[in-house]
A = this chain, B = another copy of it.
Amino acid sequence: MAIKERPRPGGRSARVQQAVHDAVRELQEARAREALTVPQIAEIAGVTPSTIYRRWGNLSELLADVSLERLHPDEAPADTGTLAGDLCRWGEQYLEEMTSVPGRQALDDIMASKDASRRECCCRYSESIMQGLRERALTRGESVPSLTAMMDGIVAPMTYRLLYDPASATVENFERWVDTTLSSLASR
């Protein structure tokens, strides 16, 4: 269950990974996902199919790997001046992404993967975003909940609803989770 190291940047392994990921994304835009095959991906990436099988095992795991890349947070969420504002801004964008067709597909790919370290990676991504927002709020002098309280009170119900009850994965509910988590802080 260890989280795999990313290949060394610039090395051959990293170049292969980049080329294969790019080929998957290119094909995903051009055709229905059910039509993707490893030989096609290999051809576009300029590698042999056996390189792909050796490294990813099968098509499902390759798709899960590309999807995990998609979920990697690439920039700090907007600074709105308050922790509540930052959280709501982030939640709105995240829910918009995760309820889109490609977002849902990315989540499904990761849930279908046999490699549990991908899910743990998602948890670490969310922790790193929450921690970034906490630290920004601390710098402003706000009182902030613990990282655990933010994960349990905000990220967990959001993810639970996205997976199990998508009709309830709404911005209104997200605002309620933020409110409950921040107000339980005030009452302690």
Residues of A within 8 A of B (CB): 1, 108, 111-112, 114, 116, 119-120, 122-123, 151-153, 155-157, 159-161, 163-166, 177, 180, 184, 187
Contact = CB atoms under 8 A, between A and B. Distances in A.
A47 B155 CA distance: 45
Contacts of A116: 166
Contacts of A151: 157, 160
**Interface class of chain A by DSSP:** helix
Contacts of A166: 1, 116
Contacts of A159: 156, 160, 164
Contacts of A114: 108
A120 B162 CA distance: 10
Given A160-B159, A187-B187, A165 B112 contact: no
A165 B125 CA distance: 12
Contact of A111 (B111, B155, B157, B177): B111
A120 B165 contact: yes
B157 A120 contact: no
A184 B120 CA distance: 29
Contact of A119 (B122, B157, B163, B177): B163
Contacts of A123: 164-165
Contacts of A163: 111, 119, 163
5 contacts: A116-B166, A152-B157, A153-B153, A160-B160, A163-B163
